[in-house]
Amino acid sequence: MKHRAAQDELKKSETWKEHGLVFTTNSGMPILPRNLVRHFKDKIAKAGLPNIRFHDLRHSFASLLLSSPNGGVHPKGVQELLGHSQINLTLDTYSHVISTMQSEAAKVMDGLVGQ
């Protein structure tokens, strides 16, 4: 909401060029990848966070969804959010998270039918 309000203000400027984008420069132009990475690196350094690649955010997003304490998001949903064309890509890429989920599922089943 804050981003939209700020962008609505920027759109009133004579220098604004509409491109139908959500994240833009202050003049509405597409953000250059090198500028995005530079800004990202600056923000994580100021926050005292470890130096990670911008793409690592995508991996973290998927891993957190799959391993959520509420049982996680079904891999098919994660596949769609990530835009993977095949579920195999999602399953292969995040198999380390899914194997943990299988362990948890086995514990739940043991609790249901075990001694």
91-97 contact pairs (CB < 8 A, 24+): 93/62, 94/62, 94/63, 94/66, 97/62, 97/63, 97/66, 97/67
pLDDT of residue 78: 92
pTM of the model: 0.62
**C-alpha–C-alpha distance, residues 64 and 58, integer Å:** 10
Backbone phi, psi, residue 17, to 5°:
-120, 110
Q: pLDDT, tens digit, for every residue of 7-17? A: 888 888 889 99
Domain residue limits, the chain: 2-46, 56-113
- Supply the DSSP symbol for 53: -
pLDDT of residue 85: 94
Map tokens 């920027």 to a residue. Answer: 10
Parts of the chain with a pLDDT under 50: none
